[in-house]
């Protein structure tokens, strides 16, 4: 067996499940996520020299998966005619499940660069340096994006605590 193929196979077994979870969070269809996982490794095989030179193979693979998922979402948006502004908004209830859903929605409303950096940190457990590599930005930019995302979430939490609906 070729050394490159053996390396890719090891990476697939070691990082495949994590990459699949990442992709499943970013595309709505599990079958599409699995296809994108396979495509990630096709790209890795085609660009093996870049993979070998990467400081973190996992971060490099997440970067490829990220780009493939973004391309897929863009294609789906072009096919979709549903307006997001048509979705009704509901008041925040006191139940934990509702708050959790509202927090997820708040995260989704963050600007994409902040949301993406935050998700790579919280969901993928990547270091700031790895996130910088995935996003191809300086580490200071990663710190800034995560700082602003957390500040926005804190502001949301403060609004919830001080809202008249939660006092009682």
62 contacts 125 by C-beta, under 8 angstroms? no
* Mean pLDDT value across residues 97-115: 81
Q: What integer pLDDT is reported at residue 167 of this predicted model?
A: 44
Q: Decide if pLDDT at 118 tops 50.
A: yes
DSSP output for 47-113 = THHHHHH-S-HHHHHHHHHHHHHHHHHHHHHHH----GGGSPP-PPPSSHHHHHHHHHHHHHHS-HH
- Segment 7-29, tens digit of pLDDT: 889 999 999 999 999 999 888 88
pTM of the shown model: 0.59
- Segment 26-60, tens digit of pLDDT: 888 888 999 999 999 999 999 999 998 999 999 99
Greater pLDDT, 164 or 107: 107
Structural domains of the chain ordered from first start: 1-84 (1.10.1740), 88-168 (1.10.10.10)
Q: Decide if pLDDT at 81 tops 90.
A: no
Torsion angle defined by CA atoms of residues 75, 30, 56 and 70, in that order, rounded to the nearest 10 degrees: 10
Q: What integer pLDDT is reported at residue 90 of this predicted model?
A: 46
**CA 23 – CA 72 distance, rounded (Å):** 11
Q: What integer pLDDT is reported at residue 87 of this predicted model?
A: 46
pLDDT, averaged across the chain? 81
């Amino acid at each position: 067996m070729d050394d490159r193929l053996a390396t890719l196979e090891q990476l697939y077994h070691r990082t495949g499940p994590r990459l699949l979870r990442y992709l499943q969070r970013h595309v709505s269809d599990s079958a599409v996520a699995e296809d994108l996982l396979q495509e990630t490794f096709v790209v890795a095989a085609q660009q093996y020299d870049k993979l070998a030179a990467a400081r973190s193979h996992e971060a490099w693979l997440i970067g490829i998966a990220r780009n493939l998922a973004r391309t897929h979402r863009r294609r789906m948006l072009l096919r979709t005619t549903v307006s997001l502004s048509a979705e009704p908004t509901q008041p925040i209830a006191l139940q934990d499940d509702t708050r959790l859903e509202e927090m997820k929605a708040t995260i989704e409303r963050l600007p994409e660069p902040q949301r993406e950096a935050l998700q790579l940190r919280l969901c993928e457990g990547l270091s700031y340096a790895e996130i910088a590599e995935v996003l191809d930005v300086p580490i200071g930019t990663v710190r800034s994006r995560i700082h602003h995302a957390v500040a926005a979430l804190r502001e949301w939490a403060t609004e919830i605590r001080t809202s008249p609906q939660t006092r009682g």
